[in-house]
Structure 1
Amino acid sequence: MNPIPTHKRPVLASLLLACLATTTAGAASENDVPQIMQVPADNRIVWRAPAEGVVTYECRMTQTDGARFAWVLAAATATLGAGQSGQTGAYKSPPETWRAADRSTLTGMETVRAASGPDRLPDQLVLANPSRGMGVLTGVTYIQRLVRAGGGVPQAPCSTANRGQQAQVKYQADYVFWKPN
């Protein structure tokens, strides 16, 4: 093996530092979610599934701030792509349900909803119920929905004139499944 010439060592050192910085930034990205959305430290990621989905909103009378019309989330579906685990699956709501291709299934209860940006579906932290079936979802304790784009409430007016009308909005997200260490 030939030694590295002295005049090339600073360039090599710079490249090495750049690679280390990139690797460190990638590792830290698991924690780049708001504090309120973080999972307890004694958990690890078992499946990070990129998802393409559709949220269905319906124009309804609400009682939240007095009687008024608003777009209300009625249903959602998504296809979960293969992440590092190689697993695929599907999501649907209501109720919040995830199914992996290996037939393991989870339901869960939302514990946190955090605004992820204008015209976007909120990020979500879900406490998982015990799974059914054996597979990648067995033992999952938390699920994060980290929205990349879309899914926000329709901008069209919602009033008596279009009561009951539905609108479908596409979204992209990562569903991150966590198990205890």
Structure 2
Amino acid sequence: MSRLLTLALAAPAVLALTACATATPPLPPFDTASLPAAVQVPAGHRMVLHTVGVGEITYECRAKANMAGAFEWVFVGPQATLQSRDGKPLGRYYGPPATWAAADGSVVTGAQVAVAPATPGSIPLQLVKANPATGAPGAMTGTAYIQRVATVGGVAPSRVCDAASLSQREIVKYQADYLFWQPG
């Protein structure tokens, strides 16, 4: 019986040590200086939060405006979980309008200022001018700009969008880093 008790008491310690040994080390700071000029944050701002958005973007097949008989996949909106760089949940991103909501109750929306090409098969890099934060004071309070960088996936579907698929929706997976900037 004493051997079982010893094993029962030792198991949590072994699990804790295993978790420490396999913990992901923090990632190095993101190099924003190498980003295209179009999506650079104006001078005089500092990055205050770096999140990773993991989720999906919905597209819908619609008729092209002013082009009879032509169709296209149209961006409907994103849904993503915002995480710290080591995977801890921080909030969510959704839209429209583009909205970043922190777990602390602070919320910020914004409007696109510029885009720049990303790697093939990925949504563009983006610079967003933030509106004043709402909700509880917290992580989003004071945000002036948001950059979307390090994008993977998220582009419109490659399958045909035509009269037969009109109004059909497609969901595609994506990931992007969202960098939050404040004055100063």
TM-score range, shorter chain: 0.7 to 0.9
- Report the alpha carbon displacement of residue 41 of structure 1 after superposing the two structures with TM: 1.6
How far off is 1:113 after superposition?
Answer: 2.1
Residue of structure 2 in register with 1:21 after alignment: none
64, 71, 75: which one aligns with 2:73: 71
Paired residue for 2:108?
106
Q: Name the TM-score, length of structure 2 as normaliser.
A: 0.78
Cα distance in structure 2, aligned partners of 1:152 and 1:134: 34
**What letter matches 1:142 in structure 2?**
Y
Q: Which amino acid aligns with 2:152?
A: A
TM-score in terms of structure 1 length: 0.79
Quick one: distance in 2 between partners of 1:83 and 1:147? Answer: 12
Aligned-pair Cα RMSD in Å = 1.8
Of residues 143, 146, 150 in structure 2, which corresponds to 1:143?
Answer: 146
The CA distance in 2 between the partners of 1:30 and 1:124, in whole Å, is: 12
**Could you tell me how far apart the structure 2 residues matched to 1:52 and 1:28 are?**
17
Q: Work out whether residues 58 and 172 of structure 2, in 8 Å CA contact, stay in contact via their aligned partners in 1.
A: yes
Letter in 2 for 1:117: T
| Closer, same or farther: CA 104–28 of 1 in aligned 2, 3 Å | closer
- Larger mean CA deviation between 54-63 and 108-117 belongs to 108-117
Partner secondary structure for residue 31 of structure 2: helix
**Corresponding position of 2:83:** 81
Q: Verify the 8 A CA contact 1:118 1:152 in the aligned structure 2.
A: no
Q: Which residue of 2 aligns with 1:160?
A: 163
CA deviation profile, 1:22-60 (whole Å, cap 9, x unmatched): xxxx66712121111000120000111011010000000
Please say if residues 81 and 89 of structure 2, whose CA atoms lie closer than 8 Å, have aligned partners that are also in contact: no
Q: Deviations over 1:134-174 (max 9, x none)?
A: 01111100001114311011110000010011100000100
> Are residues 102 and 163 of structure 1, via their aligned partners in 2, closer, same or farther at CA, if it must alter by over 3 Å?
same
Contact 1:47 1:83 in 2 (8 A): no
Write out the 4+ residue segments of structure 1 that deviate beyond 2 Å after TM superposition. Answer: none
Query: Aligned residues: percent identity?
Result: 42
Q: Tell me the equivalent position of 1:116.
A: 118
1:37-56 alignment, distance < 5 Å: 37-56=39-58
Structure 2: runs of 5 or more not aligned? 1-27
* Match of residue 36 from structure 1: 38
Q: Secondary structure at the match of 2:48?
A: strand
Residues of 2 paired with 1:27 and 1:171: CA distance? 22
**Separation in 2, partners of 1:134, 1:29:** 28
Q: Match of 2:123, SS?
A: coil
- Stretches of structure 1 that go unaligned for 5 or more consecutive residues are 1-25
Task: Give the number of aligned pairs.
Answer: 154
